[in-house]
Chains A and B, each alone.
Chain A
Amino acid sequence: MAYLELNNIYKTYGQGENETEVLSNINLSIEEGEFVAIVGFTGSGKTTLVNLINGLLEPTKGEVLFKGEPVQGTSHERGVIFQNYSLLPWLTVGQNIFMAVKEAFPKKSKTELNTIVADYVDMVSLTPAINKRPKELSGGMRQRVAVARALAMKPEMIIMDEPLGALDALTRGNLQDEILNIWGKDKRTALLITNDVDEGIYMADRIIPLRPGPNATLGPEFKIDIERPRDKTEMNDNANFKETRNAIIEYLMDIGEERKSEAKAEFVLPDLSPKDFVNQFK
């Protein structure tokens, strides 16, 4: 029995004429302690997939099993880093994280909780900004707060929806290492959604492409057989790395081409709503 299992998942949005099937026949299983990355084009249904796993959405058909039990609602065992940060704007950085930690460890004293908050704020190097509100932070700083909030709850499984999208290469690298660190400790399980193939290869054990929606399905998986701890500069010379990277990019280019030619033939615009786009600029 796998740690997380998705069996024949279908997800449709809307009703009647507006009904669109975003995800079709998704099958995925993740073992305990594994790090899985999913890469996909924008609008293909990655966030939808994430929300099915964390319990914010229910599948139209099929079942999501977590440790053998069907997922019903959210749980502290599955921590989420949202794509659009989702920080509460009326709370400071520290308060945002404190609120989460307090829910996760209701028995701990206030001083213990504050220590946890301070540790994680320090981990994402935001100690000077701990009393600032999200409005006063840059996009990258907000994303780091969101990362700290999810990790501070010490979830068994970390679900990350493009968590490092708004960061510069340097900070990105640091946080990738921090996430790997925390994942490696106590053998946690991780699911990473990303649009950066290199990031996927650096961090994950397996990469699975999500084919563009509607009716998005998962493509063939690519195993990354590179020893941990991995080193960015060394990896560039690794034959295995080059091969896998080329294979994934080729696969993605192919579906990209497919999509283009389909679009040319029919002239139908993809059903994309700019919801996330707007939220990113809030």
Chain B
Amino acid sequence: MKHSITLGKVSKFMGLGFLTTFKDLFTGKLEKEDFKNFLRKVVVPLASIFLFIGLWHAGSKSLYNIEADFRINKALEEQGQVAADAVAACIALGEDSSCQPNTLPSPAQVWGSYKSLLRDHNIISADKAAFIEKTAVLNEKRVADGKDPIVYTGRPSFVDQIFRSLQTVFAGFLLALLIAVPLGIFIGLSPTLKSSFNWFIQIFKPVSPVVWYLLVFMIVKTLLIGSSEDSSFTISFISVGLCSMWATLVNTAMGVSSVDKDYINVAKVLKLGTFQKIFKVVLPSSLPLIFTGLKITLSVAWMVLIAIELLAQSPGLGLFVWEEFQNGANDSNAKIIVAMFVIGIIGFLLDRLMLTIQNWVSFDKTDAI
């Protein structure tokens, strides 16, 4: 059977059903009964976004005023009227960062920072492209001579940081998958292994990402002793993997050990071999639970990534946030908020991605929530 893949189907499959409503709106296909649906799925969410931005704006403004008043009053008390006037003027002018209130940035400031980060990215990309072009001929010669090519070592842009973070999280996720799924299958298949591993899982599951980082750091540092390579990426992705794999481990073990007795009976009556039984019966039947675990693993991995990158000084969004915080420039706070939104949106998209894959492989095609 062939399915024609439409926008509606794909978006519904991915749990983005509201896109269909949007399309209907523009193609004029909206029926009267659909109006209520449209109100609920498009108007209300949009209104809530505007409400959120409005509240944020008002909140940041009042925080700004509190901090500004405090600075002026402090100057008045400590240095007199003239100094206070100077501070007030400085704040009103908004150029010198040293006198600016350092508080929650407004939505407009954040939007401005977002655009400036993109501009920065464009400049760096152009720079990089020019560099690569310039060194292309030279590098060819160097490679031919058996020497290492010259690589661009300039400052990474915000977008580069995002990709570094995604790399780290996928490497960590892959590690978690490769460890937790096979281990979970073994544990789930044998009650003996299950009881002997139980304490292990219970103890290590709640350990905080910071401690995992330190543990991995101790081990990797020793293993790579004498090597001049930068181990921060290795350390951070291993920490992310170890920290996030528990949900998959527990769910896989649970799925494998709770396969419907009827299916096991079928496997017995057909006399399937162990291998066949695992791959044809046990795994397909526990796939939904395994994927629920993987979904949790990926979102945990993304969540702890920021903290671990920050600790490991491994390039990525975590390090970006930390450096901006340390930097204390005029727009640092706004950049941190930009990073926050980017982290949130990517987290959401990763979750949707997993849901899509889960729906794809699952035999029980329930609608996405």
Contact = CB atoms under 8 A, between A and B. Distances in A.
Given A99-B280, A133-B363, A88 B266 contact: yes
Interface of A: 54-56, 73-76, 79-80, 82, 84, 86, 88-90, 99-100, 103-104, 131, 133, 135, 153, 279
Contacts of B269: 54, 56, 74, 79-80
A104 B271 CA distance: 9
Contact of B265 (A75, A82, A133, A135): A82
B271 A56 contact: no
A84 B280 contact: no
A88 B281 contact: yes
Contact of A75 (B1, B263, B271, B280): B271
A54 B265 CA distance: 10
Contacts of A153: 270
Interface in B228-278: 262-263, 265-266, 268-272, 276
Nearest to A90: B363
A210 B137 CA distance: 91
Nearest to A76: B271
A104 B269 CA distance: 10
16 contacts: A54-B269, A55-B268, A56-B265, A56-B268, A73-B268, A75-B271, A82-B262, A86-B262, A86-B265, A88-B284, A90-B285, A90-B363, A99-B270, A103-B270, A103-B271, A153-B270
Chain A interface helix/strand/loop/mixed: loop
Contacts of A82: 262, 265-266
Contacts of A100: 270
Nearest to A133: B363
Contact of B272 (A55, A79, A103): A103
A178 to B, nearest CB: 20
Nearest to A104: B270
B364 interface: yes
A90 B270 contact: no
Nearest to B272: A103
Contacts of A84: 262
B263 A86 contact: yes
Nearest to A279: B262
A148 B269 CA distance: 15
B55 to A, nearest CB: 46
